[in-house]
């Protein structure tokens, strides 16, 4: 069974601060996805990282996939109240060859609150 440890579970910060969310595992994933979810809605895909060591940027969000494909991080620069939400990381099993056909292993989630 693959596990994905996500931390921190809760994060409450002021507007303008920086933050980092981590996802760690002892298992290797073929890819890792980051989602953002607002209350009463489904998760929305932010990014997929596939290559070990890969770094992807999405405006103020920077995503990194570990060299060994076992861990990932999400860094937000100058957080804004609109960034508030539940952030989820999810790893795709290696046998799926990087596709989404396999079951995703989800982290426990990080509830981010950015105060104005």
- Regarding 46 and contact with other proteins (CB under 8 A), the answer is no
- Regarding 41 and contact with other proteins (CB under 8 A), the answer is yes
User: Shortest CA distance to 33 belongs to which of 93, 88, 111, 112?
Assistant: 88
Query: What is the side-by-side strand order in the sheet with 5-7?
Result: 5-7, 19-24, 71-76, 61-65, 55-58
Single out the segment in contact with other proteins by CB under 8 A; choices: 17-25, 59-67, 72-80, 99-107. 99-107
- Regarding 86 and contact with other proteins (CB under 8 A), the answer is yes
Single out the segment in contact with other proteins by CB under 8 A; choices: 11-19, 42-50, 62-70, 73-81. 42-50
- Regarding 104 and contact with other proteins (CB under 8 A), the answer is yes
- Regarding 51 and contact with other proteins (CB under 8 A), the answer is no
> How far is residue 24's CA from residue 42's CA, in Å, rounded to a whole number?
23
Sign of CA dihedral 79, 83, 84, 88: negative
Q: How far is the CB of 78 from other proteins (least distance, A)?
A: 25
């Amino acid at each position: 069974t693959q596990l994905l440890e996500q931390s921190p579970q809760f994060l409450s910060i002021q507007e303008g601060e920086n933050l980092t969310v981590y996802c760690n595992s002892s298992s290797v994933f073929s890819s890792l996805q980051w989602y953002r979810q607002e209350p009463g809605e489904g998760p929305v895909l932010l990014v997929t990282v596939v290559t070990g060591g890969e770094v992807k940027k999405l405006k103020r969000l920077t995503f990194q996939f570990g060299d060994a494909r076992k861990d990932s991080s999400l860094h937000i620069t100058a957080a804004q109240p609109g960034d508030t939400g539940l952030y989820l990381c999810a790893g795709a099993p290696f046998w799926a060859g990087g596709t989404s056909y396999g079951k995703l292993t989800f982290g426990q989630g990080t509830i981010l609150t950015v105060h104005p």
